[in-house]
Amino acid sequence: MIANAWRIVIAVFAIGYGIVETVLILSDAWDRCASYRKVEGDAVTARDGG
């Protein structure tokens, strides 16, 4: 019973950690895309003469 409980606890932690890591990776990727789009937009604005 105790071993089973430990397995459940470890599984919950692993799943939670995986979700957190995924969210962090996705938000980081989103930030990079957003900053890239901003740079690209600024370049287009500059090319069009302001």
In-domain check, residue 3 = no
Is residue 49 included in any domain, yes or no?
yes
In a domain, 36, yes or no: yes
Q: What gap in Å lies between CA 24 and CA 35, rounded to an integer?
A: 16
- The CA distance from 47 to 39, in Å, is 12
- The predicted structure's pLDDT at residue 1: 73
In this predicted model, which residue has the larger pLDDT, 8 or 35?
A: 8
Instruction: For residue 34, give its domain range.
Output: 17-50
Q: pLDDT by residue (tens digit) across 24-50?
A: 999 998 888 888 777 777 777 777 765
In a domain, 12, yes or no: no
pLDDT band for 12, please (50, 70, 90 cuts).
very high
In a domain, 2, yes or no: no
The yes-or-no verdict on residue 5 having pLDDT over 80 is: yes
Domain assignment of residue 10, yes or no: no
Q: Count how many domains the chain has.
A: 1
Kindly indicate the confidence band of residue 19, based on its pLDDT and cuts at 50, 70 and 90: very high
Does residue 22 lie within any of the structural domains?
A: yes
In a domain, 34, yes or no: yes
